[in-house]
A and B are shown apart, each in its own frame.
Chain A
């Protein structure tokens, strides 16, 4: 017999009870024994495979419905099935980051008395894109429907799409200019948006009247609801087959098994202990149009991260010492932080077997209140939280990788993710109509290197392992710009024995519009937001945006003169400057300027990944291939990797092994000459620290962390043997 029939408790009480049972027993919902699994393991596995199949096929259906190239072309969507309390049982592929954010959304409704008002009934549709309730950013709009069987709430089906237009202060979805939530776009705050399996007409009208390109949002809503209904009906049919009591028990056992599996995998793949890492992020907005003077225009964020792996396999990540939230769009809510954690775990450890919320339960995030990871003010903007999330969880990947290497799982080590900033746009389309769109080709950056091979070029992003850039011919149907270049960026992967994957750069000619607004979220400015591993270098960041207004491209074309198709490899004079006349623009930080028009040229690049291992150990033959194919320049091969290249009869690079050996010996000698003991370096740096001899942004960065976190202040004081508070003038 089963322990628990479908609960007679109200769902809010059930949720509280479930959490109490977890606290008391350490097991999900008090499930200390996987009875059904032990009874019939084959049936157990089969059922979970079925649930996952429901999710995979529901997501495919939704992708057919969508009008958004983000969903249809590059797969920015995920769906999942939940317990009545809102814990994910099974999920599809796609943007895994949202599996747990939807969980928070469901729990929020339960905790906030939705059973009484507005009531949770069969056929209802609820939507949310409020990150403080449970999502990452405004464009991540989620829909859930309750699953009822025999009159009881037995689960939820949910779906999220990333919308390409959110109706914010600037067009697109990731609204970089937002400094408070009031400029981020259209909010739907845990709202009942449909009944009897139909979206409410008044809700659709609100969307149609508050978005620049409503067809993306509206058809995505329809797509999500259709997929939720599809999953709901499949689950109901399954319950008819296996019985309600069995379902209620097995769905919880799936999660508990997922939790145990995560712990077991951690024990198998890692070495327990405390791991520390950090990264930075630089933000430059001084003098840009549109920014209100609410805080410092330029600032630097420090992200020190400590990961503890306990002997029973629990992973705890602590962000103590990071910066306070600010008046910018890159803050993140705990839901977003959960998402970052979840997507990283599913890529590294939790990709097999029972992928579900159990994995999340085997971890813990310590998010200090008041920091950008857990703002104590719910008015803050989170529209581009990925800008900080990606660097932060890149650190998590490198910490995990160190642990994998320590345990001998070298092939699992992965330098991981990088920021990949998106272009948002709007204005007048090539059809003469108003439009707005986020360009999602950013979903194909370069990955960090592995410990056994180079990173993946132009085919990885942290938030969605199913990375893709989509077809040019699809994107061009949605924007008044034509590609005149889409090419690999040489040297964009971090150097190392194994280099990071390279990124690409797009070059567009604005066409058939008098008013095209282009806005980007940003690369980290002035500091690296990513890292290498085991001696590998970080990938270059801080890419500048380049544009030419009123270019003479059409005149040149008439004459058959060469045009610019990329920015080139000369850091002092870009190809745009070499080839085109007009008003040249070079901009650091987010691109926020006056509208463009036909004949203007604009470029934007994505990021490559960090490298692994010592550059002087890189394979010369592979490097020659890299140079031939534009992944590296000849200068980088020789100057950074110490690889001397000759030319073959056709002028293609071939490695000169003897000369390389000599050159590398010289480089090693120079390294040694430059080296000094760590103790010496620390004592010389200490003098700078004592004098607080830093750039103003650096000084402000440390001061704010010291003010917010006594622990960080203490660690800083102890390490540098200074009084941190007085050094940085913190009261």
Chain B
């Protein structure tokens, strides 16, 4: 990176389950990173510490930093980790009477939907995810509204009162309400919510109430139920945290509102009413970053993998295209939030290890030690051995260089506890057991990558693996071994890659409304013109709303770009095609025909022309508008290749246990590696924020963008 003379204007911060990463970007695209432990009880502390670490690296104070920037982006996986580790709120549910069992039945597909091709067929492997709410706290209330919004059975208010009272007595922290077709007519959900609030007030309790039509007003009751449950289960704590972050940013002089990242890839204010739409924003940042790097280096087919302390996230970019999933799975629950496609498993350096003394069965997680108390070697009160402890015991982590030396790892402490709780129970040596645990974690991640690849029907040899996250490089070798990727790349800024990715996003608003506009196959000119006028009116409203919001967020009017879109289908179909409007307004029958022609063109491109069926007519089910405003983005710098000898980055030798024995591994400083350098394993490449373990005979080559290419022997 060349000399920096300006101050940063963008702060991107990604708080993972274990570490909080910061990237600072100036107007020329220069960037610096910082890192600190995540502080789950008050994320603002970790946020500030991480920002300070980055500000130190830039050589400015926190006050200078925050008062100078015009964008603060904060994204986290905290909410997702709450879900994965099942540590969210205690919920109650009120739903349409007769459907209470949907909590247990789920949708059948949740029993297999994130499986590999082989396991999808292999039926004995199927099983339901654990529900977020037990059946005993699910209550039915008699009511029915049909698809047209008509009340067929009235709401039994006395049942709603009884249900609310029972849930209050059960000391739930939040009550969720989901009734059938509430996205069409929310009257019953609204009334149930009112009744709950009355009862809560009467009981003097402090219980939140969530309704599905507010959280996710979209068809498919199972997905809407999952959305409202997840919103209530995992995001309410997150919302308080985001507010805390904005407060602390303002305290240091920040003048605007903090932004966070939507799961479909744009930035939005932290006041966003449907926070579960930002739940997987950290990993989404990684995908955006990967797409951005891929474009820079001319490689557009990528598998992204992000390993932190708690979870392992995987994304796919095929020929530059990131898949949008309209009904994504989140921890095996089906939702209906447009999301950049991503798969997640619980796997990270913070995973707690257990050995059952009776059966000798080893289990990894799903709990993570997080950063508080963290692994035993952090000496912050952790008593359960973790993968990170194993890494420390085996000499793969430098006890005096963790977070650049800010945390001194207590290896002996970790070793003693691990020996007592794991190795001795298993009846094997400490090193053997520790490496076995790491192998298990890496095998899990390796299998998950294979599953992602197989589930998409994509052969690995077409793809480059990008590995990042604080623990990504540490476990890269095992995670990627034997899969046969075209190339494997990691980064000097691997630890802050998701934060880096967030800063590559533009400001975005996606406003849309559900519509039911059915255009007959033989509609007259007058009818077409009337349909067009209806569409234009909606677009105008949406444009006004989106632009007003962006202006209120401080964007200059001329910088805001708007593109209207339609979700269209042949009447009777069950899936829409998203059509970017060829016109910003429809003022004649011919204009309307152009829009229909555009739909048919897009449809034929996606689904082949044989499948067109204009005779059925056309339906517009949703009208929307995307408003964007540009933002400065970080740049990677290309430099010529130099010598292959990495001596200038060499910093010594350390004993490291790899492949069943101790090796004298060469140590390198990651930031000192230069284009052209080649490191042969056994070696350890250290960075204050991450560690790359190079297994014996494997090698790492540094290219002209200073990207690190890992080759298996």
A-side residues, CB < 8 A to B, are: 42, 46, 49-50, 52-57, 61, 63-69, 72-75, 93, 96, 194, 197-199, 215, 218-219, 222-223, 225-226, 229-230, 346-348, 350-352, 355, 411-412, 414, 430, 443-444, 447, 450, 456-460, 465-474, 476-477, 482-488, 504, 507, 509, 511-512, 553, 557-558, 560, 562-563, 565-566, 628-630, 650, 652
Contacts and interface: CB of A to CB of B under 8 A. Distances in A.
Contact of A49 (B97, B158, B459): B459
Contacts of B122: 347-348, 351-352, 465
Interface string B126-163: 11100000011000101010111000111011100000
B201 interface: no
Nearest to B219: A473
Contact of A473 (B181, B457, B606, B612): B181
A650 B137 CA distance: 12
A226 to B, nearest CB: 4
B358 interface: no
B221 interface: yes
A412 B123 CA distance: 10
B483 to A, nearest CB: 12
Contacts of B457: 49, 52-57
Given A347-B123, A509-B144, A219 B98 contact: no
A477 B156 CA distance: 25
B100 A558 contact: no
A100 to B, nearest CB: 15
Interface stretch (B104-112, B257-265, B296-304, B697-705): B104-112
B105 A474 contact: no
Contacts of B607: 61, 64-65, 223, 226
A630 B612 CA distance: 47
Contacts of A74: 108
Interface stretch (B2-10, B236-244, B572-580): B572-580
Contacts, number: 235
B101 A487 contact: yes
15 contacts: A49-B454, A53-B456, A67-B574, A93-B117, A222-B612, A347-B121, A351-B118, A458-B104, A467-B111, A474-B219, A484-B144, A485-B97, A487-B100, A629-B104, A630-B101
Nearest to B224: A473
**Chain B contact patch, size range:** 35 or more
A93 B616 contact: no
Given A468-B108, A488-B104, A557-B153, A477 B610 contact: no
Interface string B165-184: 00000000000000011000
A424 to B, nearest CB: 19
B99 A563 contact: no
B99 A486 contact: yes
Contacts of A459: 105-106, 108-112, 126, 128
B135 A485 contact: no
B570 A219 contact: yes
Contact of B147 (A346, A414, A477): A477
Nearest to B148: A430
B557 interface: no
Nearest to A458: B105
A471 B108 contact: no
For the residues of A in contact with B, the DSSP-based class is mixed
Contacts of B120: 93, 465-466
A65 B572 CA distance: 10
Given A229-B608, A457-B128, A477-B147, A219 B572 contact: yes
A366 B181 CA distance: 51
B608 A64 contact: no
Interface centre among B110, B122, B136, B606 (most CB of A within 10 A): B122
Contacts of A507: 98
Contacts of A54: 457
Nearest to A460: B123
Given A226-B608, A411-B124, A472 B99 contact: yes
Interface string B84-99: 0000000000000111
B180 A483 contact: yes
Given A52-B117, A467-B109, A488-B105, 7 more contacts: A199-B610, A218-B613, A468-B109, A471-B107, A471-B221, A473-B220, A560-B142
B428 interface: no
B157 to A, nearest CB: 8
Given A219-B616, A473-B219, A565-B140, A414 B123 contact: yes
Contacts of A563: 97, 142, 153
B531 to A, nearest CB: 20
Contacts of A67: 570, 572-574, 616
Given A414-B124, A459-B128, A468-B107, A215 B180 contact: no
B484 interface: yes
B611 A226 contact: yes
A476 B147 contact: yes
A64 B119 CA distance: 23
Contact of A565 (B98, B106, B111): B98
Contact of B123 (A352, A465, A485): A465
B407 interface: no
B458 interface: yes
B626 interface: no
Contacts of A443: 108
Interface string B584-595: 000000000000
Given A465-B123, A473-B181, A557-B153, A352 B118 contact: yes
B104 A474 contact: no
A64 B606 contact: yes
Nearest to B183: A473
A273 to B, nearest CB: 23
